[in-house]
């Protein structure tokens, strides 16, 4: 029923109800504050006019099994219905409750007439003294919400229909008004809540009706300017603020209105205290139906402090970065400072070792050297770790040969593995790219760390290194490396921790094996930087498998087939080795190029395989034989095979470990055509096979084994070396080390001296320190390169302290060919020297030769020294021709010519009293006549050696 309908109904009632109607109209319009009083008044009005004794209204509680009297009226002569208005259980009056739920009203003219099922009600009513009653349910939107009771305690009432109907209608006013008031109350509380929120918000909120006028504002915005809400609302900016503030605000508002869409802006403005504050304003236009902006709603946060903090933070960050740069610079310097004296320690120990020492002294030196190595390793680890911490470690992008890096890492650890009697195998699977772009030294570092751990923690068995190509994505290869060992293994519970810094499997391990616990942490970071991850599988007591993946850009793919071996699919190769892994490596490399491989695990099996396949298409052409096998050794097997007619033509290749190198050198006597040292490098293996099969001429004439033999008696060639080094100790060590290998060098103490030296003399190799006074190594190299232009390229090797990332790139950029780091590993130095003079023709040092022989000639002949010198010079001028003639004759095995040329040499050297050459020539002539080539070569080599 609507408000209006209700008023009409009330108006249309009997005249004696006019009074009620008046009262009622008041009640219908009552507000929430006066509701309780008006309700009571209304009940009283009804009660008095209609002569009731009591009227009460029950409303059900939220839990509808309870109810509570909300209002009650009673004549002064009777007791109130309830002394306390509290919750009551609905079902104490079950009959009445049922009636209320199902009927529009319940009429009780006289309680004596109540039906028998209303026994509880009869009892209660009687106790309360009720004689007659009318109970009308109160509903709202068809829901029962309570009931109203009209009672007489003095008389029985004969309720007529009209009266009941009228009271029913009136009753509706109660429920209607109650619900209205309830809604209003909750609405008020919402409004109140919102204004509480708006006015208590820390954020400033305001609405503008145009560029210069406020519509409404919250407390926060008003108080920012030290004003009240009412000072601002519906006011013009220019009426509220001083001209400057009004100008700033209107300019800001104008810009926001212009945007015509949600916008954000920072505004600096003075607050009530005259402080400049920075506000971050967000605005949103509220538009009318025509699309015009009705209000611009703005919110603002004071971000002054936040901005200040940001600036502070930025400053702090810059300072921290500066400190970091200083730290890494410090690291660089420290690295340099530490490595330089380390160089001294290493060098002098090395030199000391080559002097005459007692056994005990040698032992001490060995211990000192190994302690220095450990120290250097620790220093390197700590420096790397600090660089990682300072995020200063970067990866280089250099093109490099993957196989070489892996094999280099392995060969570095061969001596230690050999010492412990461990086998090291390398297997680089097909598909692994030849060349990649990445950081070769960091990859080598990870591999070295894993392999050295494997060697360290393994007492017996073998260590395998496997490289595989997993997948490829857009010219980037995902490569998997595995380092397997048969060592002590790692407890499951320790596995999680070993990649963390300073962490070792357990304390006892530390005591037994030493180490910093940084290696794996560094490796793990390096692998991450190479786009991969590292993990380990291990069984305690059985061994470990460390695996890591990295992503490297492919520069040159794996060559499909080695063209040399293309047509050799009928060639069968036998590998005899007790190590299954080793056999697998050989097999894999040979299968890659299409050769057929048979395996035998010992000499007996080898012989059986050879004999059983002798007259078949599987006939063995080459046997690769391990030197050390249980039972019969490689030598013995070779001897046996050479005595079996069907096996004697099989080409034999010996496999030795590096500790057994001398067995390799003697292998030729046992019928081997060449030997290889383990771990086997694929290219060496293929080269050996190619030479054995006659597919390729070896660099040296008689195969690999011979290569080593010949090397030892080769003409010593004097390399021209320049050392550029400012540090005296380092110079001393370098020179002494060269001396110990019968070499000398020129010395420059800074870059500018080096420049001068190179312009005056033709050097084979220059070792250039990088940091020097006057002119550093980089600049000196760059200038040397400019000086050379296109004519020549002197080999320049940078000697770096290897302190900072990017050092190597800097060297290469400056025009250096390669670099070595301090402390200098002289093995590398000698390899570099050897490499650079490999193709150099031996040069005869005539001057020294004359000086050391002329005295004898002068003494015996009595000639003047000057005259004697002239004769010597004539002799020397003829020598190249003579030597050339001997070389040709040896090459063509023309012994007749050989004897003739030597005869000439014998004569002239005899005349000049050069006894050494004379005696050797006599022997050589004899051997030439006997046609003994090998002896001839050896004697001739000795003659040439006299000139150096």
Least distance (Å) between residue 443 CB and ligand ADP: 16
Which residue lies nearest ligand ADP, judged by its C-beta? Answer: 515
* Nearest of 252, 260, 255 to residue 279 by alpha carbon: 252
Q: List the Cα angle 723/725/727 in 5-degree steps.
A: 140
Instruction: State which residue, 517 or 594, has the beta carbon closest to ligand ADP.
Output: 517
Instruction: State which residue, 504 or 853, has the beta carbon closest to ligand ADP.
Output: 504
Least distance (Å) between residue 506 CB and ligand ADP: 7
Pairing of strands 213-217, 204-210: antiparallel
Instruction: State which residue, 450 or 844, has the beta carbon closest to ligand ADP.
Output: 450
Least distance (Å) between residue 487 CB and ligand ADP: 5
H or E, element range at 906: helix 895-911
Instruction: State which residue, 98 or 416, has the beta carbon closest to ligand ADP.
Output: 416
Instruction: State which residue, 490 or 620, has the beta carbon closest to ligand ADP.
Output: 490
Least distance (Å) between residue 465 CB and ligand ADP: 12
Other beta carbons within 10 Å of 353: 15
Instruction: State which residue, 546 or 589, has the beta carbon closest to ligand ADP.
Output: 546
Instruction: State which residue, 516 or 727, has the beta carbon closest to ligand ADP.
Output: 516
Least distance (Å) between residue 220 CB and ligand ADP: 59
Least distance (Å) between residue 540 CB and ligand ADP: 9
Least distance (Å) between residue 498 CB and ligand ADP: 4
Residue 274 has φ and ψ, to the nearest 5°, of 80, 10
Least distance (Å) between residue 548 CB and ligand ADP: 13
The token pair that represents 578 in the structure block: 């007790």
Q: How many CA atoms lie within 13 A of 411 on its CB side?
A: 13
Residues that bind ligand ADP (CB under 6 A): 449, 453-454, 457, 485, 487-490, 498, 504-505, 509, 515-521, 544
Other beta carbons within 10 Å of 212: 17
Instruction: State which residue, 480 or 557, has the beta carbon closest to ligand ADP.
Output: 480
The separation between CA 755 and the C-alpha centre of its own chain, rounded to angstroms, equals 43
Helices 751-760 and 777-788: crossing angle in degrees, nearest 10, is 20
Instruction: State which residue, 445 or 781, has the beta carbon closest to ligand ADP.
Output: 445
DSSP 907-932: HHHHHTT-HHHHHHHHHHHHHHHTT-
Least distance (Å) between residue 523 CB and ligand ADP: 7
Least distance (Å) between residue 259 CB and ligand ADP: 60
Least distance (Å) between residue 386 CB and ligand ADP: 16
Q: What's the Cα-to-Cα distance from 251 to each of 259, 881, 942, rounded to whole Å?
A: 13, 101, 101
Instruction: State which residue, 71 or 465, has the beta carbon closest to ligand ADP.
Output: 465
> Which residues pair with residue 148 across a beta bridge?
57, 136
Find the length of the chain: 948
Instruction: State which residue, 146 or 543, has the beta carbon closest to ligand ADP.
Output: 543
Instruction: State which residue, 505 or 912, has the beta carbon closest to ligand ADP.
Output: 505
Least distance (Å) between residue 678 CB and ligand ADP: 20
Exposed e or buried b per residue across 28-40, where buried means at least 16 C-beta atoms within 10 angstroms of its C-beta:
bebeeeebeebbe
Residues with Cβ within 8 Å of 342's Cβ and at least 6 positions away in sequence, in order, are 372, 375, 376, 379, 822, 823
Least distance (Å) between residue 519 CB and ligand ADP: 3
* Helix/strand/coil for 83: coil
d(CA 317, CA 297): 38
Q: DSSP label at 270?
A: E
d(CA 635, CA 663): 9
Least distance (Å) between residue 808 CB and ligand ADP: 24
Give yes or no for a contact between 286 and 295, defined as CB atoms under 8 angstroms apart: yes
d(CA 850, CA 876): 9
Least distance (Å) between residue 526 CB and ligand ADP: 12
Q: List the Cα angle 433/439/443 in 5-degree steps.
A: 75
d(CA 784, CA 563): 41
Instruction: State which residue, 498 or 755, has the beta carbon closest to ligand ADP.
Output: 498
> Which residues pair with residue 87 across a beta bridge?
68
Instruction: State which residue, 409 or 837, has the beta carbon closest to ligand ADP.
Output: 409
Least distance (Å) between residue 488 CB and ligand ADP: 5
Q: What's the Cα-to-Cα distance from 760 to each of 353, 569, 817, rounded to whole Å?
A: 36, 57, 21
Instruction: State which residue, 449 or 921, has the beta carbon closest to ligand ADP.
Output: 449
The token pair that represents 596 in the structure block: 């057929």
Least distance (Å) between residue 456 CB and ligand ADP: 7
Residues with Cβ within 8 Å of 660's Cβ and at least 6 positions away in sequence, in order, are 627, 628, 677
| Extended beta strands in 79-203, E state | 87-89, 106-108, 132-140, 143-152
Give yes or no for a contact between 705 and 664, defined as CB atoms under 8 angstroms apart: yes
Give yes or no for a contact between 686 and 559, defined as CB atoms under 8 angstroms apart: no
* Nearest of 891, 894, 916, 890 to residue 905 by alpha carbon: 916
Return the CA Rg of the chain: 54
Instruction: State which residue, 250 or 449, has the beta carbon closest to ligand ADP.
Output: 449
Q: How many CA atoms lie within 13 A of 467 on its CB side?
A: 26
Instruction: State which residue, 351 or 382, has the beta carbon closest to ligand ADP.
Output: 382
Instruction: State which residue, 152 or 523, has the beta carbon closest to ligand ADP.
Output: 523
Least distance (Å) between residue 521 CB and ligand ADP: 6
Other beta carbons within 10 Å of 59: 17
**Which ranges constitute the DSSP H helices of 865-894?**
865-891
Give yes or no for a contact between 658 and 640, defined as CB atoms under 8 angstroms apart: no
Give yes or no for a contact between 526 and 449, defined as CB atoms under 8 angstroms apart: no
């Amino acid at each position: 029923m609507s408000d209006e309908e209700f008023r009409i109904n009330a108006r249309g009632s009997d005249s004696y109800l006019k009074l009620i109607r008046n009262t009622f109209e008041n009640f219908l319009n009552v507000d929430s504050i006066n509701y309780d009083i008006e309700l009571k008044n209304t009940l009283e009005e009804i009660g008095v006019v209609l002569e009731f004794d009591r009227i009460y209204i029950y409303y059900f509680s939220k839990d509808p099994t309870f109810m509570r009297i909300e209002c009650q009226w009673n004549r002064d002569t009777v007791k109130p219905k309830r002394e306390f208005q509290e919750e009551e259980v609905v079902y104490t009056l079950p009959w009445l409750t049922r009636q209320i739920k199902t009927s529009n009203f319940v009429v009780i003219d006289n309680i004596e007439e109540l039906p028998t099922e209303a026994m509880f009600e009869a009892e209660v009513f009687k106790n309360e003294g009720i004689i007659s009653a009318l109970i009308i349910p109160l509903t709202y939107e068809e829901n029962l919400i309570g009931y109203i009771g009209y009672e007489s305690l003095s008389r029985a009432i004969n309720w007529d229909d009209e009266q009941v109907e009228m009271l029913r209608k009136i009753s509706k006013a109660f429920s209607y008004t109650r619900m209205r008031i309830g809604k209003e109350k909750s609405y008020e509380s919402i409004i109140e809540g919102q204004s509480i929120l708006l006015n208590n918000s820390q954020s400033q909120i305001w609405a503008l009706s145009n560029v210069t006028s406020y519509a409404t504002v919250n407390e926060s915005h008003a108080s920012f300017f030290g004003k009240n809400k009412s000072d601002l609302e519906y006011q013009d900016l220019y009426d509220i603020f001083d001209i400057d503030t009004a100008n700033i605000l209107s300019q800001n508002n104008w810009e926001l209105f212009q945007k015509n869409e949600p916008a954000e802006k920072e505004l600096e403005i003075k607050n009530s205290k005259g402080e400049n504050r920075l506000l971050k304003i967000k605005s949103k236009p509220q538009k009318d139906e025509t699309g015009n902006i009705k209000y611009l709603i703005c919110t603002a946060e004071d971000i002054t402090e936040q901005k200040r903090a940001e600036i502070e933070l930025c400053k702090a960050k810059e300072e921290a970065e500066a400190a970091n740069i200083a730290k890494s610079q410090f690291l660089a310097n420290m690295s340099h400072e530490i490595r330089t004296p380390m160089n001294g320690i290493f060098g002098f120990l090395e030199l000391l070792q080559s002097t005459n020492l007692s056994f005990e002294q040698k032992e001490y030196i060995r211990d000192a050297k190994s302690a220095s190595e450990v120290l250097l390793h620790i220093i390197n680890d700590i420096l790397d770790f600090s660089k990682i911490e300072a995020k200063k470690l970067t990866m280089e992008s250099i093109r490099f040969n993957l196989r070489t890096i892996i094999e280099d890492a392995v060969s570095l650890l061969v001596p230690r593995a050999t010492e412990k009697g461990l086998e090291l195998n390398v297997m680089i699977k097909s598909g692994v790219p030849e060349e990649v772009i990445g950081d070769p030294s960091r990859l080598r570092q990870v591999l070295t760390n894993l392999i050295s751990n494997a060697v360290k923690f393994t007492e017996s068995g073998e260590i395998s290194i496997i490289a595989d190509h997993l997948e490829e994505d857009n010219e980037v290869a995902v490569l998997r490396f595995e380092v397997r060992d048969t060592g002590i293994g790692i407890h499951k519970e320790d596995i999680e921790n070993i990649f963390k810094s300073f962490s070792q499997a357990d304390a006892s391990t530390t005591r037994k094996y030493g180490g910093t616990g940084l290696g794996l942490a560094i490796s793990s970071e390096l692998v991450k930087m190479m786009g991969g991850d590292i993990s380990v599988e291990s069984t305690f007591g059985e061994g470990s498998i460390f695996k890591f993946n990295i992503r490297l850009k492919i520069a040159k793919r794996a060559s499909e087939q080695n063209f040399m071996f293309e047509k050799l699919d009928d060639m069968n190769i036998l590998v005899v080795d007790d190590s299954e892994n080793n056999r697998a490596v050989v097999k894999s490399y040979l299968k890659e190029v299409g050769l057929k491989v048979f395996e035998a695990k010992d000499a007996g099996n080898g012989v059986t395989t050879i004999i059983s396949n002798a007259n078949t298409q599987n006939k063995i052409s080459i046997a690769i034989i391990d030197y050390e096998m249980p039972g019969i050794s490689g030598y013995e097997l070779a001897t046996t095979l050479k005595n079996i007619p069907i096996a004697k033509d099989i080409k034999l290749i010996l496999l030795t470990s590096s500790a057994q190198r001398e067995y390799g050198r003697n292998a030729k006597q046992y019928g081997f055509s060449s030997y290889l040292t383990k771990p086997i490098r694929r290219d060496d293996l293929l080269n050996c096979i190619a030479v054995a099969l006659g597919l390729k001429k070896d660099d040296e004439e008689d195969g690999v084994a011979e290569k080593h033999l010949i090397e030892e008696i080769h003409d010593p060639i004097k390399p021209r070396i320049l050392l550029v080094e400012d540090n005296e100790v380092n110079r001393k060590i370098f020179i002494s080390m060269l001396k110990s290998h019968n070499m000398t060098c020129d010395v420059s103490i800074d870059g500018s001296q080096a420049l001068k030296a190179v312009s005056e003399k033709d050097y084979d190799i220059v070792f250039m320190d990088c940091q020097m006074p006057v002119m550093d190594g980089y600049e000196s190299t760059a200038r040397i390169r400019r000086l050379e232009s296109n004519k020549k390229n002197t080999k320049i090797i940078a000697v770096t302290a290897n302190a900072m990332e990017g050092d190597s790139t800097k060297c290469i950029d400056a025009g250096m060919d390669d670099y070595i780091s301090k402390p200098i590993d002289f093995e590398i130095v000698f390899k570099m020297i050897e490499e650079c003079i490999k193709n150099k023709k031996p040069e005869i040092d005539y001057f020294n030769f004359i000086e050391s022989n002329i005295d004898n000639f002068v003494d015996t002949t009595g000639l003047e020294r000057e005259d004697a010198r002239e004769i010597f010079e004539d002799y020397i001028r003829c020598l190249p021709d003579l030597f050339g003639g001997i070389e040709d004759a040896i090459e063509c095995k023309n012994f007749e010519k050989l004897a003739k040329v030597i005869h000439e040499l014998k004569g002239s050297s005899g005349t000049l009293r050069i006894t050494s050459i004379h005696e050797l020539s006599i022997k050589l002539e004899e051997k030439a006549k006997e046609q003994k080539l090998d002896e001839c070569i050896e004697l001739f080599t000795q003659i040439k050696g006299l000139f150096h």
